[in-house]
Structure formats: C-alpha cells, structure tokens
Amino acid sequence: MTINGWLQIALVIGLVLIAARPLGLYMAAVFDGRRTLASVALGPVERGFYWLAGVSPEKEQGWLAYTGAMLMFSALGFASLYAILRLQAWLPLNPQGFEGVPPDLAFNTAISFLTNTNWQAYGGETTMSHFSQMAGLAVHNFLSAATGIALALAVTRAFSRGAAATLGNFWVDLTRATLYVLLPLSLLVALAFVATGAPQTFAGAVDAATLEGAKQTIALGPVASQEAIKQLGTNGGGFFNANAAHPFENPNAFANILQIWSMLTVSAALLVMFGKAVGAERQGWALLGAVGVILLSGVALVYAAETAGNPLLAALGLDPAQGNLEGKELRFGQALTALYVAVTTGLSCGAVNAMHDSLTPLGGFVPLFLIQLGEVLPGGVGSGLYGLVVFAVLAVFIAGLMVGRTPEFLGKKIEAREIKLAMLAVLILPLAILGFSAVAAVLPSALASLANAGPHGLSEILYTYTSAAGNNGSAFAGLNANTPWWNVTTAISMILGRFGYVIPVMAMAGSLAAKKKAAPSAGTFPTDGPLFVGLLVGVIFIVGGLQFFPALALGPIVEHVLMLAGKTF
Amino acid sequence: MTQHLRPALVLLLLFTALTGLAYPYAVTGLAALLFPNQANGSLVIRDNTIVGSSLIGQNFASDRYFQPRPSATSTPDPADSSKTVDAPYNAANSSGSNLGPTSKTLIERVSAAAQAKRAEGWQAPLPADALTTSASGLDPDMSPKNALAQVERVARARGVAPQKLRALVETQISRPWLGFIGEPRVNVLALNLALDALH
Amino acid sequence: MSAKFKTRRTLLFDPALLIEAAADSVRKLNPKTLMRNPVIFVTEVVAALVTLLWLRDYFSATGSPFFSGQIAAWLWFTVLFATFAEAIAEGRGKAQAAALRASRSDTMAKRLIDPQGRDHLDGVIENVNALSLNPGDVVLVEAGDIIPSDGEIVEGVASVNESAITGESAAVIREAGGDRSAVTGGTTVLSDWIKVRVTAQPGETFVDRMIALVEGAERQKTPNELALSVLLAGLTLIFLIAVVTLYGLAAYSGAVPSVVVLVALLVTLIPTTIGGLLSAIGIAGMNRLVRFNVLATSGRAVEAAGDVDTLLLDKTGTITFGNRMASEFVALPGVDSRRLAEAALLASLADETPEGRSIVALAKGDFGLAEPEVFDARAIPFAAQTRLSGLDLSTKSLRKGAVDSVLKFAGLSSEQAPPEFRAAVDRISRSGGTPLAVVETRNVQAHAVGADAVAFTESELLGLIHLKDVVKPGIKARFAALRAMGIKTVMITGDNPLTAAAIATEAGVDDFLAEATPEDKLNFIRKEQTGGRLVAMCGDGTNDAPALAQADVGVAMQSGTQAAREAGNMVDLDSDPTKLIEVVEIGKQLLMTRGALTTFSIANDVAKYFAILPALFVAAYPELGALNVMHLASPQSAILSAVIFNAIIIIALIPLALKGVSYRAVGAASLLRRNLLVYGLGGLAAPFVGIKLIDVAVTALNLA
C-alpha cells in the first residue's frame, strides 16, 4: 500500500461526498413532484408519458398495488428482452451478423438484466448485436435501476409518512427516476467517458494491420452510452466480455475514477434523499457512515491482500513490490483496483476492472463476503437501499430494546410482523447461495464448468450463486456458466434474490407506513449517531454475514492458509 | 393485475425508444461532434493504414519489438468450434486467464515464463507484469521496469545502442497526473511506433 | 422501596424453590410444550439425534462414544437449563399464587333468594358454593365472612380486610354508592354487613386472574416477545441452512465432519442463550410488578409501560401531600401581624381539618403563641356549606375561611374590600396557594339595651392566611429523572390555572391540566396519542374510567370503583398513585433485559466460530489450525468446550434474567452506550475467555 494509493482512494470518496448532497436534495425535490430546473424541458415529456400510459399521477398505490405494478412491468420487460435476444438475427443493427441467443442463455440473460444483476454468461462482443445491446440490454440498465429507485422511494415513504395507506405511484416514480435522474446523468457521464477514450460508434469492428503485420480485429460499438448507465444504475453489464477491465470501457485512471464515482454517487445521494425525506438529514449520513465503514474495511483488506501479492509467484522471482498482477490492468494500479473491487460488490453493481477469479484468496474473500451481506452498501441504485433498511430495522430491534422501549426506527414501532418479513428477506440469500452451492459442489455436471481445482473451485461455485442471488453480476469468471445447469440455477437465484427479497420488504414497508409515527424524545433510541453506526455494522456482520463463514472457511479462507503453506491445485 | 397492463406496456415501449434508441443515438451524435477520435476507437494510423488503437494492446512476438504482457485471449478453434485456441491480444474477444492464486496451471505458466526471462538474462526481481496476464488480455501498457528490462534484447536485435533505447523508453513513460492520479506506465504500441520511427 | 416490598420479596434462589423448579424443568421437556420455543425445540431434537448416534457408537464400537456421549449430555443440559430458567421464574410466582388460592378455597356464599327483600335476617338466603355464583347474584356478607366473589356493594357499609390481596392488614371502609363500592372476592368483612351484587363470572374473579397471572399458566407471549421469538426462529433457520448445506460444501473438499460435530456447530450458533431465557425474563418482569403490588391484566401492558412518553399524574396525593398547610400570615396595613395570628389561631381552634390544625401550628410556631384560655366562647366549627370556622366571644366574633365566604360574612362585596387585601389575595393565588381571610366583627348589639337601641356590627378585615400545597420532597428529582428518560409529566388538578401553574413550577412537571374535568383528561390523552405519544395515567373514580381505558397504560387503584378497575390494564393494590413511575421503570427494565441478553447471545457467535470452525475442518486442512486463535488443545476439546460454554452460560445468566439488568434513569443515548458496551462487547469477549477456561479444564480432566 502506498500513500499515493490512499490519496487516490480518498480523492474518489471526496468527489462522491461532494456530489451526493446536491444530487440527493435534487432527487428529493423531483420525487416530491416539486418543480426543478429540469421540469421546463422534461415536464411536458413526463405528462405526455402519463397520458399515453393512462396513468393518473396523483393516484397513489398501496404496497400491494405498487408491488403488483412493479411485477407486471418486470414480467413484460422479461418477455420483450427474451424475444429480442432470441430474434436478434432478424432485427436491425447486427453488423457482425450474430445468431439468435440460445434459449437457456437468453432466459438467463433476460432474468439477469431484469433483476439488475447483469450476470453475463456470454461474452458481449461475441454474442450480442448492437440492437440487443442498446434496445434490449441498455434499456433494462435504465429500467431495472429506475425500478430500484422506485422501490427505494416506497421504502422511504414507509418511514416519512404516518398512518398512511399508500406508498406512492410506481409508474410516476419509475418515470421520474428515468427522466429526471438517470437519463440526464447518463448523457453527461457518457460524454465524459467518450472524452477519456471510450468509443461511441455504430461500426461493428475495425481491422488493423499490426506493426508485426498481423490482422487485429478490434471490436467497437456504442460503448460509452452503455457504460454510463451501467455504472450509474449499478448494473454492471458490460459491453465487452472483460467488462470495465477492457480498455475501451475503462481507458485510463480518469475513466476509472469516473466509473467508481458513478457507482457510488447515486447510491449515496439516495441515502441523503432518504434522510431528507424522513426529516433528519443526519439519519442519511449515519447510514452512509455505516456503509462507509464496511466498504472502506473491504477496500483496505483487498488493497492489503493484493499488494502483499501471491507468495507462490514471488517465490518464482516476480517482483513482490508490484503485488498480484494476474488478472489486473496496469493503468488502474492496485489502489483503485481494490477500491473498484469493494465498491462494485458492496454496491451490487458487478462491473469489474480486474478479474476477481485471479485475486488473492483474501482479495477474493472481500467481494464474496460483501455480496453475501446482502445489498446493503447501500444496496446500489438497482435495489433501492432496502437491504440497508432491513438491517437497520433488525439492528434497532435487537439492540433498541436495551434502552427500555419497544424498538422503533424513525418513529415506527418494529413489531412481530416487520420482524417476520425482515427475517423472510434475510433468509433468501443463505437459502439461494448455500442451497445451490451445496448441490453444485457435489454434482459432476456442474463441477465440469470449474476452471480451478481445490478450494478455489469451491470459491468459484460460491461466487457464482452469491453474485446471482445478490443480484451483483460480477464473477469468478473462470467458471463456465453458459451451460443449462448454471444458466437455469443462477437465473432462479437471481429471481429469488430480487423478488424473494423485494416482496417481503414491500410488505414490511406497507405495514410500517400504516403505523403512526411516534414522536421522538430523549427516551427514543438514537439512530443517527456513531453508536448506531457501530451497531448497524455489527448487526450486518453478525446477522448478515456470519452464516456464510463455514462455507467461506472451505473456500477463500482455507485457500489463503494453503497458499501461505505453498500448496497448489 | 390487469389494470397494470396498459401502463406497463406503454411505458416499456416509450422507454425502449427513449433509452434504447434516442439516448445512444444522441450520445453518438454528440460524441462524433465533440470527440471524433475517441468515439471511433482512438485508432492509430500510420501511412494511411490503421495499425491499431492506442487503447488496445497488440501482440509483439518479435525480438525487434518491446513485448507486451502475456495475454489470455483466445479464438474459436478453426477445426472444432466448440474449443478455443490461444490467440493473444484478440481484440474481438477480451478475456483474462481467470486462474486463481493457487492454480497449478498458473504457477507452471509463470514458472516457465520466468525461466525463459532468466535465460534471456533478466535479473530478479522480475517485473511482475511481464509474467502475468492482464484482466482483459488487451492491456496496452507495461511497467517502465518491464520496458527497461527488454532494452538489451531489442537493442541487440536492432543493432542500436542500448542507451539510445533506454532514453527512448524514458520519453515514453507516462507519469501520474498531479503526481498521484494514475500509475507510471508505458504504452507498448506507442513505444514500438517510436522505435520504428528511430530508423 | 416500601417495607412491604421487602418482606414480600422471595430469595432469589430459595432451596425449596430450586428443587421444585428442577422437577418442573424435566416435566417441561415434553416436546409438545417445548415447540412454543423454536430455538430450544431444535436443540432438543438434535440432542435426541446425538443421543441415538451415541448409542450407535457405543454398541457398534465405532466412532468415539465417549465424545458423542458428552456432547449428547451437554445438549440435554442446554435444554434442561432453559426449561429450568422458566421453571424457576414460574416457581417464584407460584408461592404467591398458593397464598391467594388459600383465600379462595371452600368459600361459601349466602345468596339472597329475593334481593329486593328488606331484611336480610328473614332467612331468605341460601348457602351456595362461591364457585356457583353468577353475575347478577346478590349475596349477603356479614362480619367474619369472606367475600365470595368480585362485586359491587348495593347496600350497607362495612370495614373490610383486604390483606389477602394487598398484603396490607389495615381495614378499609367499603360502602354502597360512590367510589368505594367495589369489593374483591377473597377479602374479609371485619364488621357490619353488606349486600354485594356479583360482577364476575365464576373462575374469572380478580383473584383468579391474579393466580393465573403469577403462575404464568395462561401466559400469552407479549407482542414484543412474539417479535423476538420470530427473530430467534429466523436466525435458527438461517443457521440450520448454513449447517445442512455444509454437508455438500464439505463433501467437495473431502472434509465432511461427523454429524455430532455439525450438530455442535448448529447448537452453538443458534441463539440458545436468549432462547432459553426469554420466557423467564417475561415471567420475572410480571413478578417484579406483583412484588410492587401492581397487577397487570396482560403482559402487553407491562411492555407498553416501558414505552410511555407522557405520564398523567393527579396533583393531590401524587405530587403534593393530600392537604394544604398554612405557611404565612399576611396582615393588612395597620394591623399588627401578631394580632392577625392570634385571631387566626382563635378562629381555627374549632377547625379539625388538617388545614385548621396547620394554622394553629403555624401561629404557635411563628409567634410563640400559647394555646389561649378561652372562656365564654362559642366555637363555630368548620362546615363545608359555610366554608368558615370561627369563635364567638362575648365582645367579638372571629372568622376565618374562604375569601368570598368571609367577605360575605363581613357584609362586604369584593369591590368593597381594601385594595391591599385584593392584591394580597391575588398574589397568593398566583403563587399557587389558597388564601384564607380572617375577619374580626365587634358585635355592638350585645351591649344594646332598650327597645330603640340600634344594633350594628363593625367588621374589620385583619388579613390573610396563605395556605400552600406542599409538594412532596424528592418529587422534583423524580420528574427530572423521568425527563432524562424522555418522559413528559403532566399534572392534573382541579385548581385554577394560576394555582396549577405555580405548583407545576415548584414540582417541576412539564405541563399541567388545570380545572380538569374527566372529559378534559380524555381529550388530553387523545391529543397526546394523535401526536404519536403513549400515555399512562392512574385513576380511581368511575368518571376516570373512560380516560383509563383510553390511556395506553391505565393504572386503577384497588380502592377505586369496579368500573375504574375494569377500564385500567393494571391495578395498584396499594392504591398509591406514585407507583406509576415504578411501573414505567419496571416496563423499561423488562425490555432492557430482553435486549441485553439478545445482544449478548448473538454477539457470542463470533467467538464460537473461532473455536469451532478450525476444529471442524482441521482434519482435512491442517493449515486451518492457524485460525485456532484461542489455542484450544484439540479439535474435540474445542467443540466440547464451546458446547459446554453454550450450556452453562444459560445457568450463569438466570440471576440476571430474573433480577433484570440494572436500570438508571438516564437518556436513551447513554443507556444504549452503556448496555452496548457491557452486553455487546461483553458478549463478543466473554466466550473467548469462557471457552478457553473450559478447554483448559476439559483437557486437564482428560475429557477430550
């Protein structure tokens, strides 16, 4: 680790913190339906959309109707995306002449983009036409992120309102999130990406004659526009197979900083908005603090592990000062790579600028564990901060009793119904991750996909289901996931991780919204101070993470001690 | 649920048009106007031929050139399309090795490469980037140490004074902006172009 | 803490109680009843499983029966310790229940065949068993009889010994009509007779409910307990998934541990500590209330007490002593204050009310006046109608009393009173006191002789006596403590706003409700509740009933009417309105104990991982020994030690569960800081030390 490295990390965090507040306040205004500068241009578009869709924006929905609308929208989105992928050979903008995507892969991919997972069992540049990338995948980069923001709004209103029957209108929230937040930001960020070197063209590929006289086919495409929303929406589905490690997706350190900034800022702004909406900006910052503590611990561990490097390689004479460079790009450096690794997994983005499969055992342990914690840091844009709220509710419940009152979070009493729903949500991840992993670990046809043997192979299995159920999308990419078993089981994991989580959380939001808002007093459990931050971090670790330790002990943890002992597989 | 059908369908169509078509076309138009070079892939043209992209690494096997990091990219086997064969710096199919830290394959690969470097006269510690594959398989850069370690070989092959090449390498090192943003590195294609330009 | 409380308090671990609880704890192993507690139920199931495995090991001479036998034993102990905790908590209530039951058994009742009959001695009564009484029956209870059921006195007045339920042996008066008409089954009439209309269904009397409550027989889980149970069940399920799936994951690694070891991992991870102590905490909380002589009709009310934001307190009896005392003589200009004092003293000689006595005491104290020898005087005693008392002497009459009454006596309208007088009245009222006026009337008529003699009187206002409500010592500090806890205190009084404000300031309450009618109280409670606050109040009268019912916590006085007792969700057997504060504290303590032990239990898991995980896989991966940070002797001793720790921590925490965590009236933030430090960090650290120590012992004893 170097001072320069930490300075770069600090710079990115600083840029995020500077932007989070104004963006958060802007979002609070937009979702309140207040007029903003953008309303001049976008107001008529918004109203036009409602008119065409037959939506009365002032008519609000209860949790059931809100969730129903979200499910219907997702179902149609799935159907259309599946159709586009299957039929891409007959659709326009297919300069490379790709075939239709096979059924199991199309199913997996459609679920993947719908659930904001953006798990890619395919290589983009060898599978997808430009039309599939733009009108299929990129659209869902927007829509799954907007859906996540909408869900975040619903959860926010559960706390900001007292004795309310409704949580807002899904169609309105979805439309505003896309029109006022994601689209303008994407436009700006996309152009910034082009400025750093990301291509934006409808040409399929160019052939170059290399200096040695060979032919090099360089895949091109509308990269920057997809890159922007992929990062801003914490989607992570890259244009190319190597994702943000590809020099076109992520040309240099500036692009890399912009990538990390884009992942973090909207999520951080959502927390500011949450605080603003519940009437205590401090609350938003406290949640952000908890997120920051976990995230930065993760960054530090990855950074330390990767700069310490692989002793097996150092023994062969490789310069240990450079750290572990297998699967990394030189232009990012160890510090920003470590930051990227932790942020993309903590935030449920899933874009990668290094191959996670080749990280050192502890370096790989961090992203694995961060995803397993659930979508809490703060859940990313695509999953609407609900993971964090679930844990805040649990933390308040467990420790809140210690102040001698029925636990309440932001004035809402936490009772049996909320706990039941929160636990139901928390149960989904271990069930999907450990359940499928345990089966795959003994299934010969599944094991045939592994690229690595020994504990690392188990890590690949764990990572695959973790990424799917956690709706992350990054991978220990050595595992060949494009087989029927993996395509189907990861798709099921993605569905469980998304809808199995969201439905109980929305039911909880409905139940909380209906409660009266208790007035705060000196006897109220304070949820905006450092004490709460520490408590929340503890509960996230213990309730959200501890159950994975036996599995992790057999994967990255044992691999670490074996590596130190000089064992290979 | 049926009351959700119309808004779901209409909004899906509208947003597909807006974010799936209007948005990328708008970005493409603006990019072509503002940053035409980057938008088209930062292509490098010498003598009216595209010789590559300044962002994409390309393979150099000859001793006359500075050689980039190993690449793990592959291409479908022409004989059997279900298999792949190694194809370093295949810019149509980016990929890393995905080998884990305790992988025997990795250790054997690096071990063999390290032996070759030593045979070439390299001294430990060996530049790590010269022996490890990048994440994309298309890393355009190498570390200054790696470049300097190759000076002797290239000088021998080209019959130029090593000092001259060493100086050339120094001019090609891009340093961190403001002293801390980014990493010191050398763009292999640019270095080799400069090398060719020496003559 | 009252003296009574001390005597009622049972020893924490009475040997007889322990023996009974031990027997009960075995009885509670019945899986059917244990199913209510998912954590302990799972433990019992796996204990049975390991027992079978031990038998297999033992008879087939495979594996290591010594190890699996020990694990099985400790798993059974874990379950037993949990049931023991519950049994001992219940046992403490049972002693009280037994005493109550004694008062109820074999009671015979004299039922009136014709309730309208005038003479109860007519022989129109029949002797029936108390248990066969139905609501509406009227019974006759005479001196020496035990009142057979709860009811309302319809006729008569009697002194009643209520010690059977209150523990207070002093007799109380119960009479038909008014606020003292309710009687409780099981109490004894000492003198006279009463006719009582039964109001309770058989088996649902106050005493029955009380017995059921203290025994915990029909104990329903309280809302918060229910929520906590859900959380614990959820955690159990999560760890069940983690352990079961370990089978497949470990198979990949060729490191499948034995079932016994996996079970050990499961049991140490699921929250057995809090799971085992949860019901004991709840029962102990109820018992604490009972020891304070407060009876809650539901556990829900006890929890709600902890949540109270606003406390409505009656001024009289709670904040101030029941009566006012003279504190100052205010002489009018030109009147010697000694003369005023003398007049006040004389006028009050016949006033036997506490106020009157306090005037005498003040005059004697402040002016050193001796009890005057009065001859030829006629005492005018204090009467509620005239609101005056005084003394008629041969030459003059002295009166003291309410200002308007005195003015009327003197034949003055309030405008005719001197301005200084009016100013003083105002000042005293404003300060929260009650002014009493003193007047001297020279009765000239007494000397008149002859037919045309003119009779006239000459009145002179001497001054005022300042009567003050005396605020109970220490009450201000208690309110400050409540404020620190975030609880707002509101004083309710029939006084005018001026007086109320002054007393409110002196007592340090946050708000007051002056000239309060029952409707005002009800509206105030509703307003607070709309603002998201929980309200507690106490009351005794029938007209308090709506407010008691509306309040989230309504404490009815045992001495109050049946209506009030039905409306409230707690009854204070001592009829002491200050109890409300204790009730709140007990509610808070109950919740805190639950939270502290939950946090402790969950935090324990971290250390248990460090003990068990390396041991679990060290056979397949010896390198994992590096994680054995506690340097436990062997994998088997590590697993055994963790299981033993897991069992005995339950026993070790029983005293805490029963006594409750120590409570101090400070704000939530500092409470949380302290408890998080003790039970959160303590919970992280304790098992590291405990498991290590047990491991040393286990190794020394060659148990593993």
Query: pLDDT tens digits for A281-318?
Result: 898 899 999 999 999 999 999 999 999 999 999 999 99
Locus of tokens 């409505």: C312
Whether residue A428 is contained in a domain is answered as: yes
* Residue of A329, A365, A564 to mutate for B, most B C-beta atoms under 10 A: A329
Whether residue A310 is contained in a domain is answered as: yes
CB C85, CB C280: distance < 8 Å: yes
Under 8 Å CB pairs connecting chains A and B tally to 398
Neighbors of chain C with 3 or more C-beta pairs under 8 Å: A
- DSSP helix/strand/coil, C158: strand
Host H or E run for residue C310: strand C310-314
C77/C607 Cα distance (integer angstroms): 21
Least confident of A81-85, B127-131, C478-482: C478-482
Could you give the ipTM of this predicted complex? Answer: 0.96
**Nearby residues of A79 by Cβ (< 8 Å), 6 or more positions away:** none
Record: contact C251-A442, CB cut-off 8 A: yes
Chains B and A touch (3+ CB pairs under 8 A): yes
The encoded tokens of residue C414 equal 């309030």
Answer positive or negative: Cα dihedral of A141, A144, A146, A152. Answer: negative
Task: State the nearest Cα–Cα gap between A80 and chain C, in angstroms.
Answer: 36
pLDDT for res C561 = 72
Residue C575, CB half-sphere, CA atoms under 13 Å: how many?
A: 16
A177/A147 Cα distance (integer angstroms): 8
Nearest residue in C to A518, CA atom: C532
- DSSP helix/strand/coil, C174: strand
Record: contact C676-A535, CB cut-off 8 A: yes
Record: contact A518-C533, CB cut-off 8 A: yes
Q: Tell me, what amino acid is at C347?
A: A
Nearest residue in A to C227, CA atom: A416
Whether residue A306 is contained in a domain is answered as: yes
Q: Is A438 on the interface with C (CB under 8 A)?
A: yes
Phi, psi angles (nearest 5°) of residue A186: -60, -40
Proportion of chain A above pLDDT 70, given as a percent: 99
Q: Is A217 on the interface with C (CB under 8 A)?
A: no
Record: contact A247-B7, CB cut-off 8 A: no
Chains B and C touch (3+ CB pairs under 8 A): no
Q: Tell me, what amino acid is at A445?
A: S
Q: What is the 3-state secondary structure (H, E, C) of chain B?
A: CHHHHHHHHHHHHHHHHHHHHHHHHHHHHHHHHHCHHHHCCCEEEECCEEEEECCCCCCCCCCCCCCCCCCCCEEECCCCCCCEEECCCCCCCCCCCCCCCCCHHHHHHHHHHHHHHHHCCCCCCECHHHCCCCCCCCCCEECHHHHHHHHHHHHHHHCCCHHHHHHHHHHHEECCECCCECCCEEEHHHHHHHHHHCC
Nearest residue in A to B115, CA atom: A316
pLDDT for res C350 = 76
Q: What is the DSSP letter of A60?
A: -
C166/A405 Cα distance (integer angstroms): 29
Per-window interface: A 489-528 vs B, CB < 8 A: none
- CA distance readout (Å), A37 to A24, A29, A30, A346: 15, 11, 10, 33
A126/A255 Cα distance (integer angstroms): 24
> Which chain C residues are within 8 Å of A565, Cβ to Cβ?
623
Q: Residue A321 CB: number of other CB atoms within 10 A?
A: 13
Proportion of chain B above pLDDT 90, given as a percent: 86
For chain C, residues with pLDDT lower than 50 are 1-10, 446, 448
Task: State the nearest Cα–Cα gap between A418 and chain C, in angstroms.
Answer: 8
* Residue of A215, A218, A230, A366 to mutate for B, most B C-beta atoms under 10 A: A218
Identify which of C588, C667, C672 has the shortest CB distance to residue A531. Answer: C672
The encoded tokens of residue A499 equal 């809808």
Record: contact A4-B131, CB cut-off 8 A: no
Average pLDDT, chain B: 93
DSSP string, A486-520: HHHHHHHHHHIIIIIHHHHHHHHHHHHHTS--PPP
3-state helix, strand and coil shares in percent for chain A, rounded to the nearest 5 = 65, 5, 30
Between residues B55 and C61, the one the model is more confident about: B55
**Nearby residues of A65 by Cβ (< 8 Å), 6 or more positions away:** A170
- DSSP helix/strand/coil, A87: coil
Q: Where are the domains of chain B?
A: 2-37, 41-197
pLDDT for res C7 = 38
Mean of pLDDT values over A515-534: 84
* Number of domain units in chain A: 1
Whether residue A349 is contained in a domain is answered as: yes
A38/A29 Cα distance (integer angstroms): 11
Record: contact A143-B15, CB cut-off 8 A: yes
Among candidates A164, A181, A171, A165, which has minimal Cα distance to A150?
A171
C591/C233 Cα distance (integer angstroms): 19
3-state helix, strand and coil shares in percent for chain C, rounded to the nearest 5 = 55, 20, 25
pLDDT for res A561 = 94
Pairing of strands B84-86, B74-76: antiparallel
* Residue of C225, C228, C231 to mutate for A, most A C-beta atoms under 10 A: C231
> Which chain A residues are within 8 Å of B20, Cβ to Cβ?
134-136, 138-139
Locus of tokens 């010896």: C622
pLDDT for res C448 = 47
Q: Is A368 on the interface with B (CB under 8 A)?
A: no
pLDDT for res C475 = 82
Record: contact A430-C616, CB cut-off 8 A: no
Task: State the nearest Cα–Cα gap between A424 and chain C, in angstroms.
Answer: 7
Record: contact C235-A543, CB cut-off 8 A: yes
The encoded tokens of residue A135 equal 């009108």
Record: contact A546-C594, CB cut-off 8 A: no
Proportion of chain B above pLDDT 70, given as a percent: 99
Under 8 Å CB pairs connecting chains A and C tally to 232
Between CA C4 and CA C142, with CA C153 as vertex, the angle to 5 degrees is 80
CB C290, CB C480: distance < 8 Å: no
C626/C614 Cα distance (integer angstroms): 8
Phi, psi angles (nearest 5°) of residue C663: -115, 135
Identify which of B92, B107, B185 has the shortest CB distance to residue A125. Answer: B92
Q: Residue A480 CB: number of other CB atoms within 10 A?
A: 14
Average pLDDT, chain A: 92
Q: pLDDT category, B155, cuts 50, 70, 90? A: very high
The encoded tokens of residue B162 equal 């090593």
Locus of tokens 């808070």: C588
Identify which of A71, A76, A194 has the shortest CB distance to residue B35. Answer: A194
Whether residue A20 is contained in a domain is answered as: no
A277/A410 Cα distance (integer angstroms): 11
* Residue of C39, C224, C592, C597 to mutate for A, most A C-beta atoms under 10 A: C224
C361/C340 Cα distance (integer angstroms): 14
The C-alpha torsion from C680 through C686 and C688 to C694, rounded to 10°, is -150
Identify which of C532, C595, C626 has the shortest CB distance to residue A402. Answer: C595
C289/C295 Cα distance (integer angstroms): 7
A486/A492 Cα distance (integer angstroms): 10
Active site residues per annotation of C: 314
A250/A244 Cα distance (integer angstroms): 5
B75/B83 Cα distance (integer angstroms): 9
pLDDT digits (tens, 9 = 90+) for A356-387: 999 999 999 999 999 999 878 776 676 768 88
CB C375, CB C395: distance < 8 Å: no
Q: Tell me, what amino acid is at C249?
A: L
Among candidates C680, C640, C606, C464, which has minimal Cα distance to A542?
C606
pLDDT for res C4 = 37
CB A228, CB A193: distance < 8 Å: yes
Phi, psi angles (nearest 5°) of residue C184: -115, 135
A352/A337 Cα distance (integer angstroms): 9
Between residues A394 and C303, the one the model is more confident about: A394
Record: contact C245-A437, CB cut-off 8 A: yes
A554/A546 Cα distance (integer angstroms): 14
B153/B121 Cα distance (integer angstroms): 9
pLDDT digits (tens, 9 = 90+) for A462-491: 999 999 999 999 999 899 999 999 999 999
Domain that holds residue A319: 3-8+50-564
Whether residue A32 is contained in a domain is answered as: no
Record: contact C230-A419, CB cut-off 8 A: yes
Whether residue A474 is contained in a domain is answered as: yes
* pTM for this entry: 0.87
Q: Is A165 on the interface with C (CB under 8 A)?
A: no
